[in-house]
Structure 1
Amino acid sequence: MAELRMRLFLIPVMILTFPTLKSDGMLTTRHIVLGLISWVLLGILAIDGLFSVAESAQISQFRAEVDRTSLAQNETVNYRLIIEGDVTNVPTPTLPPLNEFQAYSSGRSQNISIVNGRIQASVTFNYILQPKQPGKFTIAPATLTVDGKTYQTQSLTIEVTPGRAPANMPPQGSRPPSSQQPRADYFVELSVDNDTPYVNEMITLSFRFYRARNVMGGLNYTKPKTNGFWSQDLPPQLDYRENVGGKTYLVAELRTALFPTASGTYTIEPATLQIRGTFFQAAQTLRSNAVTVKVKPLPTAGRPANFSGAVGQYRLSTKVSQTETDLNTPITLTVTLSGKGNIEMLSEPSWPELPDFKFYDSNSSSNVKTDNYVVSGSKTYEKVLIPKRTGTFTIEPVTFSYFDPKSERYRTLKSETYEIKVYGAEIDERETNLSRQDIRLLGRDIRHIKPVPAVLQNRGIWYTERLSFWLAIILPLGGLIGVFGYQRHRERLEADSGYARSRQAAKMAHKRLSTAKMHLTTHDSAAFHAEVQHALTHYLADKLNVPAGSITLDRVRSLPSIPEALRPTVVSILEKCDLARFAPVQHVSEMSETLTTTQKLITDLDKTWNG
């Protein structure tokens, strides 16, 4: 197809540059006809380019997956909607009715790869489902509408058994001793599941709000400061009942994954929850306890030379695109690190020496999950290898070292060894060099002088001075450049996920805010604030090209990319959305103001970042 387009491009150029004038320099009928032919050829080229773009904008597959089909009532299941094909401007799928589950969005992930010159892209929408009751349930197909065409997933069946002992509740030893004493109608607690972790080992910070009776007023929640830690929110919120000192409380628990960045003693400052006063209830400010964490340094004994700070449990897998290739034809080496730990902060593995190949970075991507309140996922690296000469060569193993806090030992992973066969003839550069002696004069001839005519006459305006001549050349070329420019833009949208996310960020955010406005009209405060938070965090993630799960309040407060003049507004909106999880009932006027502020904020951020 590319060769055909080039020929179509050359034909009008040859037509326009071929001598088609009479001796008097005037435009001829033939010139006009050939100019029209060039326009027709240009139209064919433009239509072909536009149709090729339209043909590529298709969804090849839309399917649903769950990580398990059988679970207990107090457990959760990961529900994923996977779209393959042209995903540069794909809308959020429509979920089926999930009356038997509490559904929480856990973000989206995107993967783009190039295999044998073809771009393969997919986007995954992740949800966490928590069953409300035991039984056998069928999840109906989800739907997706793109360019007027509707796609459906397959249906899924999930069996929920009666809940076992509440596995989601933290161990008693991780709570402050005072929490088991008789308390007031409302109180809050802060705890960690491990107060002596190693550097970069995940610990879980839990904030719990206990209430023995309903809250009449609104709530203002201030998160604890976690200086010295990298944080990741762990949805969804847990709701359960607990007996404390003979009194039954309804508990709302929020969890956050913390990864200490250095050794030493750190104090996580208290969190506060303010209950706004009403006619029937006085205002209260609840303040949690502080938490002290003593972070242990990683041991020096047995530390591998290639250790780069990874802590957790990981696996290493590799693959090559082909084991036989031609000289100067690239192959792709793909390395995937997967497991539990701080996936976003993983360093590259140790690459082997490759003297027989040229070595280029191609692509890297990460997929972070928070299943069952544990940060896990995978990070993939791609390297392009171009053989320098023919023969059989060995790619030595890729290695990666990490510290396992469970066994308190360093471990080193090694990939398999690959044997690459390279075919083709090597070119001797000496054969292509010509000396001056190779070029010699073969002969001379007489250049004839044309006779001067007896009478010189004015033949009129020269054809190059006519506007129609330049229009016949410039307009087709201008249209051709426009078509190629548009195609390059589409190709970049498909190949560069960061560029595609940034270009579509504002559009997708306003689409989500339109959904939030629908919840506003039905006075559904919880759904409204969830959609507003979803719109803002995903907009920031798309603009900054980071996973949506990494956009937390702590990170927003410190990210240098966010304009200082707009940072307080971003923080204020995210705090309001967090509070709505505790106090879902708010006045319509407050919700309307939040929607207007968010819409203006996204517009202002877009103007600032786009210049």
Structure 2
Amino acid sequence: MSRWLKNIFSIFVLGWVLFAFSAKAQMIFRAELSQTRLRVGEQTILNIVLEGEEVEAKSGVELPDLSPYFKVDGQIGPSVSTVMTIINGRMTKRTSWQIQYLLVANKVGSFTIPRLSYRSGSQTYYSNPIMVQILEPASVQTREGDFEKMEIRQDPFLSLELEPKEIFIGEQVIASWYLYFQRQIMELNLGSGPSLADFKVMELERSTQLSPMIKEHKGEVWNVAFIQSLALFPLGAGNVNVGSLELLYQQRAGRDFWGMPITKQEVVRSEPISITVKPLPLPSPMEFTGAVGKFEMRAEFSKKEARVNENLSLLVEIRGDGNPDYILEPKLNIPAEFELYPPEVKLETAIEGGRLWSKKRFEYVLVPRKEGNFQVPELRFCYFDPESRKYNYVKTEPISIKVNPGASGAELVSQGGLKTSELKADIRFIKPNQELLKSEGERAWQEKWIGLIQVLGIALVGLAYWYRAYLIKLEGDEKFRKRQRAFREFKGRLKQAKKLAGQNKEGEFVSELKSALLQYLGDRLGISPWGLLEEEMAEVMEKNSVPKEKIKEFLVLLKDLNRFQFGKAISGVSSKELLEKSESLISTLEKVKQ
């Protein structure tokens, strides 16, 4: 190997040794502040991290005196984690130690957090110093001509804006909330709503997500996002409060050991505002119902012509930006020739120009009883106008309607001698001769079918009671249930035996017929007939009141079937005769009372 190659190899080995030694001895010690420019009263997090191979689990770093600029308001940690690795057969252990302090700014000025130190053996490690600028807290801002005083103490802050400037009882007030923020905000949610006990409240708009606009405020650039707006209607005079709206959000508060962001929940509230509500001037008109704002009114018939006794609709509509609860039914002066029915009332709301407008519809049904030309006089609605500070009226024009004769105008003569008109849609029976009237109650009891219905009703009740008792017994008494189904099941098996006989399957036919007879006997008498001797079977049947001749007939039939089953012919007896004999015998036994 040449000399220059040896030199290169020596330099490489020496560099690798020095690198390994420095890597082993390398220690990382740092301090970070989450915010280096803040206002008095705001918070920041001091994060101290120590990493290396020789870090002890009980290592600590002494925090220097930060007064009077900062106050320590809390601590997270310390936390310790260890990572072990094996490379080329060599095991290394690296430990990380971390602690976080929550600091609150106390004094205006520029301040340097001195470098922190950590000593490991003969080696001392230092963090970098951190420069911090602490600003004055935001001053109280008063907007001239408005009722709002807003104190901005933090980022973010929630602003409440109210319109208009002067307020009367029942006048609409728009309350809008806006969020001002410069920091990043995550997971924003509405908290508790404002206290509004002195108002009727109707929601206008609510934001489903933050859509901020850039706006300058007191020389600084802010993100401003609309939150929600409400239409408020004061219910009484005096000083009333619009309470605080609360928002919940997550804000970043540093990073953990793995570098993941740490968040914490924060709350921001708007300042409550007190406003003065003025009473309405006196005296008020007799027709005034409490409506305050701007209003308009219209009225119209559903058609210009109608017939006698034909339904007719009259629509009255009042629209305005006042409290809809005070839009009451107008007073109608309807001609005496019309019948008037109570109206159907509908309320509709819409947002126009950032304000709530209500439209209340009153739909009346009228029935004209006489032909001719008629007119509904003008309708009036009284309200208070906050701009002119006067009571005003909205009116409709008189409404004309022509009533034509009805479809049927024939005259009838009643039994009392008076003339009546037969009406198509609204028939009225006039019976002035009371001697011809009979008492419907007295006549009803004289009818025979009334008594029959009563007897039938009692019988149905009794039948229902009996059937219910029958079902209960059928469900709870196993012997009773078998006895009730014995004959039905015998008929089914007898049908199967007939089918086997028709197929010339004599062995299966005899077996099925014998089983059907024994199963019927067992279910009917509540016994197990299988394996009983002839004498025992006769004794059981006799105890259950079966006539002796029927007992003998039943036993003879079973004996014949046994002989046939074991290959012995039954002289002079066909399968058809066996079936008929079995069916006749069981039908007779079914009639025996136990």
Structure with higher strand content:
2
Larger Rg: 2
| Structure with bigger RCO (C-alpha 8 Å, 6+ apart) | 1
> TM-score when scaled to structure 2?
0.41
Structure with higher helix content:
1
> TM-score when scaled to structure 1?
0.40
